[in-house]
Structure 1
Amino acid sequence: MTGKQLSDDRRAILSRLLQITKLSNREIAWVLGVHERTVQRRRDEFEATGQVKKHKDVSKNAEKLKPQHVERLLEWHKDHPDALLGDMQRFLQTCCGLAVSVPTISRQLRKAYGGRVLASGRGARIRSRKQREAEGRSIALELQQGVANGDINRAQDAAVELYHDQRQLAPLQEILAPQHELRQQQEQEISAYHVAGGLQYQAGSDRQQLRYELDLNSWNLRIWGVAASGFLTDSYNLFATNVILSTVSFVYFPYDKWVGLVINLFTLLGSVLGQFLFGYLADRYGRTRLYGIELVLVIVSTIGVATTSSGYGDLSFLALFTWWRFVMGVGIGAEYPLSAVITSEWASTSSRATMLASVFLMQPVGQALAQIVGLLVLLGQDRAHGLQEKQCGLDSLYEEECKQIIDGTWRIVIGSGAVPALLAIIFRFFLYDCGLYTLEVKKQPGNAFRDTQRVYGAPPTTNGIALSPHGGANPFEMEPMPQQFSMQDLHTYFIKDKNWYYLLGTAMTWFFLDVSFYGFSLDNRGTLADLWATTGRADLNPSLPCWNSSLPNGTSLVPTWKTDGLPTWQTDATQPCNTIYDTTIAQTKQYLLTVSVASIAGSACFIYFANRIPRRQWLTSSFIILTLLFLVTGGVYYGVSHKAGAPATVVCVAICHFAFNFGANTLTFIIPAEIFPTCYRSTCHGISAASGKLGSIVAVLVVYGINSGYKSSTSQGLVFLLFATFMALGALYSWAYLPDVQRVVYDGPGGRRRLETKNLEELGEGHMRARLEGQVITMRDKWDDLKERIRRRRRLTGGGDQPPGPAEVDGQGVAGVA
């Protein structure tokens, strides 16, 4: 619109908007679709004359510039990149004999460059030198005031603006002398900050308007329902292992202890593959194109597991069962990055953490649901077939009939997992691709706004025109972005910009977390029975009430256990006379009281506190708390195991599960969905989640190895102490390699202090942005910063008050201190 006259309607709208003193030039420019400088000129005119006059239309001057003239000008511009508009005007006068206006040259240049000339950078060179120097002085003053007042954000904004034209730096040496070292560092870092994650920095109205429309909304039931239903399904199917392994072992593998290990390992390996593969594919092809495929895998594999058999003896039951659990693991793993990223991108900034935490709440709910469904099915089978009267597992009289009944029990439990998956797929028919992905990766702003408004509705309007307080007019489009997943962009984002630090932080914290979490939560039937035991292991001898059969014509199986050992389904060595029915009921009670109730309570509490606590710091703190809890739990276990005080260990373990979900377990799921850019968010979340599942594989192997190779009645105490080490490592990595996702703000001068969540666009700018905000990332820098703080404190306490250095404000470095 610049260089052309405003229509009568737009001049009338502009006159009304200029009378609203609260509206800035940026906001008015966005409403009218013109440049901010145009609004400022008209504002000056309006303040002087009280009206917005109709200007002369100079657009016809462009007819004087023929294509050959523009081509010649572009060739000359390549050789003289710092030429100003006046220089170009003189060049055309000399070489072509053309007398064209400066606005005409400006418009033709923008057209020639495909509308990709920024208002900064190349576009800055076509402004007058006098105007640029005046703007430079103003920006330098802002920078100086921002540093002097400790306002780091203001100083960074000014520094970014200042960087756009290097020639502005020349006349400002005297003003910026105290900050010379700081400015040099920022000049080197801002170039990377502009292209962090392959997303070039822009003040484009599209991204700002989309963020504005998303942030108008709060917690959204529709988005939560779509994501949570799938996550509930996956949690149910993953942790159904705790319900079915005893019954599967009872029917098919009564004395093979390694079978449960194989089934769990292949399920977790499938999860690793699903998380990595679908995380990448969701970034490459779109979220909703894949959202639902993982549930199809879960449904098909669920049916496959529930119908597994050995045929006429020519098929391996274990091989088929393990294969379908592997396929199910792929679907389960795929749900992690998809649900997290879709929830994160659809949520408003203020509700992002609570929505992600609400989705993750479905993990402990799914665990509990699997236990409850298993309990209900078992009670139904007992009522229908009289399992207790048949003494299943203890007597051989009804052995085949018992196996047939129990075989149907675990198949019903597994098959039930397809029901919530079917419901989740129905929900996903009504979800569109996230607006952020459509805009930033597909580069389709029209579709992005359309899909966003389909979910949230249209934003508020003024005179029929959508208004955004963040809007800033930008008649120039952004320059071409590096190609997603190209070697250049991957190298720039992860290596050159050092964002691999973030990926290392999320991957390692999730790895160390899952070593302990899955060591407690997956196939922990024997562990829980050991923790609940108040007596020692029972001796298998004729004094046992089940040594002889209580059924007419029955034969007790217990005497054979003296030579063959306890069967694998009999997980409580202190109660050898429990039938498979009694054992399964006891396992369900122990799991619900020790794990599920505490985990659900922890997740619910985190939802309430998600925006009230500094999440990155709380992640580190929760790892430290868990380290101490594991040490305490291990000590308590060694003191009271297999004694009357054993419930004390159970209480400690329940507190551990509460702490898991109130902190580290939930946050390792949330933070990777926040700190990466849109083009790599799902991939990085998938890699982080896959690292966690690798940790769970380590946990399963460690627990199995300790239980098999360490012949001690208190071997579980060693597991507690070992897991404490992993928690300490998790605290170290979360402290050193993860950025803050919130900032501290004050409600007015001297107002209340509160935490404000950063939006995805800020966090997606990566390590360079964090450095400019004063955060310290990496172990070495954290350690150096810690030593510097200690040295400064000693200097201040020992040598009296000393004024801060040029790069210090209130004891904190602007660009080097967190």
Structure 2
Amino acid sequence: MAKEQLHVLDALDVAKTQWYHFTAIIIAGMGFFTDAYDLFCISLVTKLLGRIYYHVEGGTKPGILPPNVSAAVNGVAFCGTLSGQLFFGWLGDKLGRKKVYGMTLMLMVICSIASGLSFGRSAKSVIATLCFFRFWLGFGIGGDYPLSATIMSEYANKKTRGAFIAAVFAMQGFGILAGGVFAIIISSAFEAKFDAPPYEVDPIGSTVPQADYVWRIILMVGALPAAMTYYWRMKMPETARYTALVAKDAKQAAADMSKVLQTDIEAETQKVEQLAKEPVNSFGLFSKEFLRRHGLHLLGTTSTWFLLDIAFYSQNLFQKDIFSAIGWIPPAKSMNSIQEVHKIARAQTLIALCSTVPGYWFTVAFIDKLGRFAIQLMGFFFMTVFMFALAIPYDHWTHKENRIGFVVMYSLTFFFANFGPNATTFIVPAEIFPARFRSTCHGISAASGKLGAIVGAFGFLYLAQNQDKAKTDAGYPPGIGVRNSLIVLGVINFLGILCTFLVPESKGRSLEEISGENEEENGATGELEQPSAYNRTVPVT
């Protein structure tokens, strides 16, 4: 038997779309804009770092980062992000969403600036300093995932909740796009200023000063959008669901939401007293009861996010290597270091503009119509199809006349990642767990995803570089490393299809109904009564 819902939570569930919804989307979304810019801008400058700090004097080829250094530069922020997701997710349930929200943003601002100021007398010390600050940058970014998702889900109404959470996450696409556009602008500005001609051999000796400015400026600019939204984050009231259901102060929740909704909400004194008498935790995190009710759901959200991020971050971080392998980006020795940054940024910006950003907003448009389950299943399916379509006839795509076809098909994998599991894996964990565990469980799910990103960053590098060396020694045709990588990613996406069946559909239902936390305890057993529909791990039709 369901308990009577507090009026303040009912009011949020049925509220019409209002200005405060858009304000919350912008405030939370700018955090994700910054997250994406900071995480993915490093892929724009890794080759530049190799030219600057690993150039061999008198060499005839541009300097490149050693495989272990490249993996560290690309992957260290993900290690920080994983740690931050677990820590701030837990802290968000202990202290409240609002109290923790500002900490993550300030950490991102400070570490973005510090990353660009990385210092040292040798290449090793500069890279070590950069990795140190990017770890703590990732730590701050990690906190943004569970907090932004939880805040938006608890502010939204049940009819359009999916679209609102997806809109917050869609700002990630604009962050990726902004990183590419800014890299194009800054590289063009320095190229025009110094008028450096193309070189047949590595031109690093003549471009070190300006090249060193380029990567530092690109990294430091990530601090600006985060700093601009700090004040507004601090003005947001605590979510009513945390205040009422976790802090047990429904009177304060009613007062806060009366201001937000611009309407009078009854304080409900009797319900407040009853709520205060109830135990704070009917069952604990990872208790037998939690595992019975939410164990498969947590397994579903962690496994799908883990598998998705292996594929998604591998594609984003190393698409420059794939484009170089098929000849879409010219050989490094044919251009100077700043020109190379411009070419890489232009290619990644085109992918973001034509596929990544539209994919996010297709999710916003259709998630409350099609549902989370259908979109996630569809996304994993088409990512699998396109990966195998690229990998199996790989030799066909390496011919010059077929490169455009390769780029188009490769772009479609980004489109269906974002109009698919990259968005839904972020949305669902913010909806299906009880309020007192919501931020923690989202943090665990997101951390599982970043573990996948780490596997992708280090694993793809191993396949693409070590296998390419092996193929050279053994006389294999060019590109065997990239082909193997695409096949592995296709298999991973197929596994994502299977794990999706562990995740429940949450479309059109209140958070309390989905999580089952609004159900009465059965007196003798102390167990919580569950609606039969909730027990299903497949969509409720």
- CA change 1:489–1:385 in 2 (3 A) is closer
**1:354 CA displacement:** 0.9
1:388-399 paired onto structure 2 within 5 Å: 388-389=196-197, 391=198, 394=201, 399=204
SS in 2 for 1:631: helix
Residues 287, 342 of structure 1: 8 Å contact kept = yes
Residues 511, 691 of structure 1: 8 Å contact kept = yes
Identity %: 26
Match of 2:274 among 430, 452, 477: 477
- CA change 1:770–1:729 in 2 (3 A) is farther
Deviating more after overlay: 575-584 vs 221-230 = 575-584
2:322 corresponds in structure 1 to 527
- CA change 1:774–1:301 in 2 (3 A) is closer
**1:635 CA displacement:** 2.9
Q: Relative contact order: is structure 1 or structure 2 higher (C-alpha 8 Å, sep ≥ 6)?
A: 2
Cα shift readout 1:253-288 (whole Å, capped 9, x = no counterpart): 224322221112211100100011100000011001
1:513 corresponds in structure 2 to 308
Tell me which amino acid in the other structure corresponds to 1:598.
S
Cα shift readout 1:591-613 (whole Å, capped 9, x = no counterpart): 12234430101111111112110
- CA change 1:770–1:366 in 2 (3 A) is farther
Residues 295, 331 of structure 1: 8 Å contact kept = yes
Match of 1:282 among 92, 109, 113: 92
Residues 183, 218 of structure 2: 8 Å contact kept = yes
* Ranges in structure 1 where 5+ consecutive residues have no aligned partner: 1-159, 161-200, 460-465, 534-570, 743-756, 783-816
Residues 93, 436 of structure 2: 8 Å contact kept = yes
- CA change 1:510–1:315 in 2 (3 A) is closer
1:719 corresponds in structure 2 to 485
Residues 268, 697 of structure 1: 8 Å contact kept = yes
- CA change 1:770–1:605 in 2 (3 A) is farther
2:130 corresponds in structure 1 to 321
**1:529 CA displacement:** 2.1
Are residues 1:458 and 2:263 paired? yes
CA distance in 1, matches of 2:129, 2:38: 17
2:16 corresponds in structure 1 to 217
Are residues 1:411 and 2:216 paired? yes
Cα shift readout 1:338-375 (whole Å, capped 9, x = no counterpart): 11111111111122111111111111110110111111
**1:532 CA displacement:** 4.6
- CA change 1:507–1:281 in 2 (3 A) is same
2:287 corresponds in structure 1 to 491
Match of 1:677 among 418, 434, 442: 434
1:45-194 paired onto structure 2 within 5 Å: 160=1
- CA change 1:770–1:659 in 2 (3 A) is farther
SS in 1 for 2:374: helix
Residues 217, 456 of structure 1: 8 Å contact kept = no
Q: How many residues align?
A: 512
1:593-672 paired onto structure 2 within 5 Å: 593-672=350-429
- CA change 1:769–1:252 in 2 (3 A) is farther
Tell me which amino acid in the other structure corresponds to 1:738.
V
SS in 1 for 2:49: helix
- CA change 1:493–1:341 in 2 (3 A) is farther
CA distance in 1, matches of 2:529, 2:426: 22
Are residues 1:772 and 2:536 paired? no
**1:213 CA displacement:** 4.2
Cα shift readout 1:326-347 (whole Å, capped 9, x = no counterpart): 0111011111111111111111
Residues 292, 425 of structure 1: 8 Å contact kept = yes
Tell me which amino acid in the other structure corresponds to 1:430.
K
**1:522 CA displacement:** 1.5
Residues 392, 581 of structure 1: 8 Å contact kept = no
Deviating more after overlay: 766-775 vs 696-705 = 766-775
Cα shift readout 1:637-691 (whole Å, capped 9, x = no counterpart): 3322233212211111111111111111110111111111110000000000000
Residues 97, 238 of structure 2: 8 Å contact kept = yes
2:174 corresponds in structure 1 to 365
2:34 corresponds in structure 1 to 233
Match of 2:504 among 732, 736, 739: 739
Length-normalised TM-score, structure 2: 0.88
CA distance in 1, matches of 2:317, 2:249: 44
1:250 corresponds in structure 2 to 51
SS in 1 for 2:229: helix
1:151 corresponds in structure 2 to none
Residues 314, 453 of structure 2: 8 Å contact kept = yes
Whichever structure has more helix as a proportion of its residues is 2
Tell me which amino acid in the other structure corresponds to 1:264.
N
- CA change 1:596–1:693 in 2 (3 A) is farther
Residues 223, 343 of structure 1: 8 Å contact kept = yes
Tell me which amino acid in the other structure corresponds to 1:337.
P
CA distance in 1, matches of 2:172, 2:325: 25
CA distance in 2, matches of 1:400, 1:410: 17
1:153 corresponds in structure 2 to none
Residues 637, 649 of structure 1: 8 Å contact kept = no
- CA change 1:646–1:384 in 2 (3 A) is closer
**1:234 CA displacement:** 1.1
SS in 1 for 2:90: helix
Residues 199, 333 of structure 2: 8 Å contact kept = no
CA distance in 2, matches of 1:257, 1:402: 21
Match of 2:185 among 376, 384, 387: 376
CA distance in 2, matches of 1:770, 1:643: 60
**1:628 CA displacement:** 1.7
Tell me which amino acid in the other structure corresponds to 1:419.
L
**1:579 CA displacement:** 1.8
1:709 corresponds in structure 2 to 466
Residues 304, 496 of structure 2: 8 Å contact kept = yes
Length-normalised TM-score, structure 1: 0.59
CA distance in 1, matches of 2:333, 2:52: 18
- CA change 1:649–1:345 in 2 (3 A) is same
**1:490 CA displacement:** 4.2
SS in 2 for 1:612: helix
**1:401 CA displacement:** 4.7
CA distance in 2, matches of 1:477, 1:704: 57
Match of 2:82 among 272, 285, 288: 272
Tell me which amino acid in the other structure corresponds to 2:145.
Y
Match of 1:337 among 141, 146, 152: 146
CA distance in 1, matches of 2:3, 2:411: 49
Residues 338, 682 of structure 1: 8 Å contact kept = yes
CA distance in 2, matches of 1:279, 1:500: 18
Cα shift readout 1:533-583 (whole Å, capped 9, x = no counterpart): 4xxxxxxxxxxxxxxxxxxxxxxxxxxxxxxxxxxxxx744x631222332
Residues 526, 572 of structure 1: 8 Å contact kept = no
CA distance in 1, matches of 2:244, 2:111: 35
Root-mean-square deviation (CA), in Å?
2.7
- CA change 1:770–1:717 in 2 (3 A) is farther
Deviating more after overlay: 606-615 vs 287-296 = 606-615
CA distance in 2, matches of 1:229, 1:480: 39
SS in 2 for 1:310: coil
Larger Rg: 1
- CA change 1:515–1:291 in 2 (3 A) is same
CA distance in 2, matches of 1:360, 1:488: 29
**1:771 CA displacement:** 5.9
CA distance in 2, matches of 1:603, 1:769: 37
CA distance in 1, matches of 2:530, 2:384: 28
Are residues 1:583 and 2:390 paired? no
